[in-house]
Structure 1
Amino acid sequence: MPAIDTLAQDQRALRRRGLTLALLTITYFFSYMDRQILAILQEDIKRELMLADWQLGLLAGLAFAVFYATLGIPVAWLADRTNRKNIVAISLAIWSAMTAFGGLSQNFGQLLAARIGVGIGEAGSSPPSHSMIADLYPPEKRAGAMGIYSLGVVLGSAFGTFIGGLVAHHYGWRAAMYVIGLPGVALAVIVWLFVVEPRRGLSDPQHAAAMAAPIPPLRDGFAAILRNPAALHLVMAVTITSMIGYGLTAFGPSYMQRSLDFTKAEIALYIALPGGLCATLSAVLGGKLADRFARTHGLHMQSTMVAVLKTLALPFTLGFLLIDQPGLAIAAYFINLLLANSYLGPSFALIQGLAPVRQRALWAAITLLVINLVGLGLGPTLVGTISHVLRGPLGEDSLRWSMILFAAVTPWAIWHYWRAGVLLRAR
């Protein structure tokens, strides 16, 4: 009888995996809306609360990332042992409420506390979600599924800028935080009701024996990644890429306002959604292309593909920051998004494929710990700090050159993707 019940549960999970993936993607979408909302509001917040660029960088970076990243480890430990769906739903309710509370802030300290609360809530989103997706989709379809999930990043960022910019333009930055934050509480109930919790290892039947073994202790997760050179290079690659991306994204709207003379409304109406479309195409097509390469040439080609696309994107990243003509600069920005945002799906799919089945949420959390402490924590913080230091000699152009310095680090990430591909091919 238990075997029959398990079979029925597995069939139900597979029938509803599309719905589960959709709801997890929407949850991820809300998490990035709640993060990105700060970027389009920064100039208003800076004026009202009289903040410096280093404080803006701290709000978008380290203050959020320290709690988001470090709490991801105990959350992942819990996710490898308990119901992952419930963790995602509770976390969503917490970070959505804290985003709305940010709109009540009267000073830097209060806004800092609210953003820390958002980071605490969001710690419970990605590790359990990665684990569930890996259980629902087999290796040859996993990069495509992760590519769909990564739409949360690009669409959440785009709509956070679009909705936040328009609401702030008409009603102020505080109203924008309420509008972005409060709907997530209702979504948390929907996630709790409709997301399916899959059996661990459902899509990896060859690992059935591993599922019967005891769950390894926490320290073994770190040791396992360090012993796996391909996984280590992938973690380094996605961390450096994220550091650059978070730094540029956090200050992108401010750069457009200061150096290209766009208004908040213009960024929201004419840049956010087309940019989101380009990034969406990159994520979806990149994931599908990675799956095709995996089937025809082997998994190693997924990492090599990312290295090639990042190389092609770099001149357009620099063009966006160096060209003074607004139309040409934004065209370069769109092409950069189209090429550069394909990395998330293949990166996380490869890492999940290398992870032991009983440590998938833990490996995701360790990856996110490094990505977010270094990438999210240092990216915006350093861009803001460098801009603050350069403001004396460069004036309003200080932010431009701070971002150019960050973009110039991209070849380091490309090398790690290439090296991971070499090591994966040799496996």
Structure 2
Amino acid sequence: MTLATTHPEIADTLALKRRTMTLALLTTVYFFSYMDRQILAILLELIKADLKLSDGQLGVLSGLAFAIFYAVLGIPVARLADKGNRRNIIAIALAIWSVMTALCGLAQNFGQLLAARIGVGVGEAGSSPPSHSIIADLYPADRRAGAMAIYSLGVVLGAGVGTFIGGTVAHIWGWRVAMLTIGLPGVALAVIVYFFVVEPRRGLSDVDRLAHSHPMPSLATGFSTIWANAAARHLVMAVTITSLVGYALSGWGPSYLQRSLGLSVLQISLYIAPIGTAFAAFSAVMGGKLADRVARKHGLHAQSSMVAWLKVIAFPFVLLFFLSDNLAVALFGYFASLLFASSYLGPTFALLQGLAPVQLRALWAAITLLVINLLGLGLGPAAVGWLSDAFRPTFGDESLRYALVCVGMLTPWAIFHYWRAGVLLHRSEKVTAAG
């Protein structure tokens, strides 16, 4: 018997009292997840020279090899999370991917590095779905976007700090030591998560929905429920296309800065990464707060519309970054794009968790992540690598620049889906209000 089953009121009070600490720890886990996932970006040129790899192979390592296992295994992990202890799943997963990241540093060829990256993907499959579910249970709908925005800081901070630490260590001791340095601390964090993260009662912050809960539907029902919700479909499409572009640009951005703009690994690590992290973190936090504010004033649909408009503003700056030969102008475009484009994750996942049935929150998160990572993470970096190899006979050393531009041009498609989701959510709110 646990505290939750013997004294549910006491357990609920404890969960809510410690939710800030729980959110902080889950954000830290997400930080380690993204740091271990994206460390490869700053190391690509060093790995390419050491192991004699092509851009196509680097693209597979950056995205496809990781994404297939990460995305597919997310579904059974989410099913387990909807039934079992989510905290334990997160702690075990963190330990696995941390060890596998360290093992990347021992690889002697493409095959060994590929196997280790697959291992990272297997481990990280156990992180986000149960984390999304816990956060949704701890925070009510009108505060959920802000909480999810804090959680999404793991993306920008993980990528930025990973680049800073990884690039600096690689400059001094090489890329292999960088992998070990990034990977091993995660094992200690797994122990902390096990002892301190709260496992809340499902539906704790949605009492009205919990009262009408039903036995857990089948996996097929989980897929069909998200497909049947038009707003959810558009949100999944929007975040998938956004992630495809984002993973492609973040995965190859450091290589582009080195090849086309002449920066060194150390310069990117010491100067570009910290500034970019600050802009993206500000965008994520303020975007979440703004999303909560517009939701309270105009309704939840305004969160999706807000993301669409911010992406409209960011799009020209992305193109400026990749099309300018002037370093100062290109960096201005890069930082400006981060300021407006990095706030989408919190509102998107908050909206999806709000639309999901209580018993299927982890599963809906996993389905979303399945699509995001198979198409976004899986194809984004790989497509850039393949396009770069294809463009090389025509553009030479500038092939990577034009490969990135081609992928970046998908952004208006994502904007359409965010806009459409906002329209559908607004209609649903009107129907609910009228009823």
1:240-255 matched pairs, under 5 angstroms: 240-255=241-256
Pairwise CA RMSD: 1.0
Query: Would you say the 8 A contact 1:210–1:358 is kept in 2?
Result: no
Which position in structure 2 is the counterpart of 1:304? 305
Which position in structure 2 is the counterpart of 1:415? 416
Query: Would you say the 8 A contact 1:282–1:338 is kept in 2?
Result: yes
Which position in structure 2 is the counterpart of 1:24? 26
Which position in structure 1 is the counterpart of 2:274? 273
Which position in structure 1 is the counterpart of 2:402? 401
One-letter amino acid matched to 1:384 = G
1:158, distance to aligned residue in structure 2 (A)? 0.3
* SS of aligned partner of 1:85: helix
Query: Would you say the 8 A contact 1:67–1:119 is kept in 2?
Result: yes
Query: Would you say the 8 A contact 1:168–1:176 is kept in 2?
Result: yes
1:2, distance to aligned residue in structure 2 (A)? 8.1
One-letter amino acid matched to 2:292 = D
The 1-side partners of 2:137 and 2:212 are apart by 14
1:210, distance to aligned residue in structure 2 (A)? 3.6
Which position in structure 2 is the counterpart of 1:181? 183
2:151 to 140, 149, 152: 149
Which position in structure 2 is the counterpart of 1:257? 258
CA displacement 1:247-298 (0-9 Å, x = unmatched): 1111000000000000000000110011000000000000000000000000
Q: State yes or no: 1:61 paired with 2:68.
A: no
Which position in structure 2 is the counterpart of 1:366? 367
Q: State yes or no: 1:391 paired with 2:364.
A: no
CA displacement 1:365-423 (0-9 Å, x = unmatched): 00000000000000000010000110111111100000001111100000000000000
1:3-152 matched pairs, under 5 angstroms: 5-152=7-154
* SS of aligned partner of 2:393: helix
Q: State yes or no: 1:332 paired with 2:340.
A: no
The 2-side partners of 1:185 and 1:261 are apart by 37
Query: Would you say the 8 A contact 1:210–1:357 is kept in 2?
Result: no
One-letter amino acid matched to 1:255 = Y
- Deviating more after overlay: 312-321 vs 324-333: 324-333
The 2-side partners of 1:3 and 1:225 are apart by 31
Query: Would you say the 8 A contact 2:4–2:201 is kept in 1?
Result: no
Which position in structure 1 is the counterpart of 2:355? 354
1:331, distance to aligned residue in structure 2 (A)? 1.4
The 2-side partners of 1:110 and 1:361 are apart by 32
| Structure 1 segments unaligned to the other structure (5+ residues) | none
1:132, distance to aligned residue in structure 2 (A)? 0.1
Query: Would you say the 8 A contact 1:91–1:123 is kept in 2?
Result: yes
Which position in structure 1 is the counterpart of 2:166? 164
The 2-side partners of 1:208 and 1:175 are apart by 49
CA displacement 1:33-71 (0-9 Å, x = unmatched): 001110000000000100000000000111000000000
The 1-side partners of 2:148 and 2:249 are apart by 23
The 2-side partners of 1:221 and 1:283 are apart by 29
* SS of aligned partner of 1:80: helix
The 2-side partners of 1:409 and 1:2 are apart by 47
Structure 1 393/2 Cα, relative in aligned 2: closer, same or farther at 3 Å?
Answer: closer
CA displacement 1:142-193 (0-9 Å, x = unmatched): 0000000000000000011100000000000000000000000000000001
One-letter amino acid matched to 1:155 = L
CA displacement 1:277-327 (0-9 Å, x = unmatched): 000000000000000000000000000000000000000000000111111
One-letter amino acid matched to 1:22 = A
One-letter amino acid matched to 1:171 = W
1:4, distance to aligned residue in structure 2 (A)? 7.4
Q: State yes or no: 1:205 paired with 2:207.
A: yes
The 1-side partners of 2:161 and 2:195 are apart by 25
One-letter amino acid matched to 1:223 = S
The 2-side partners of 1:424 and 1:105 are apart by 48
One-letter amino acid matched to 1:298 = G
Which position in structure 1 is the counterpart of 2:432? none
CA displacement 1:79-126 (0-9 Å, x = unmatched): 000000000000000000000000000000000000000000000000
Structure 1 207/169 Cα, relative in aligned 2: closer, same or farther at 3 Å?
Answer: same
* Runs of 4+ more than 3 Å apart: 1-4
TM-score normalised to the size of structure 1? 0.99
1:209, distance to aligned residue in structure 2 (A)? 2.7
Query: Would you say the 8 A contact 2:210–2:358 is kept in 1?
Result: no
The 1-side partners of 2:374 and 2:110 are apart by 21
Identity %: 66
One-letter amino acid matched to 2:412 = P
Query: Would you say the 8 A contact 2:238–2:415 is kept in 1?
Result: yes
One-letter amino acid matched to 2:249 = L
The 2-side partners of 1:12 and 1:2 are apart by 10
TM-score normalised to the size of structure 2? 0.97
Query: Would you say the 8 A contact 1:89–1:189 is kept in 2?
Result: yes
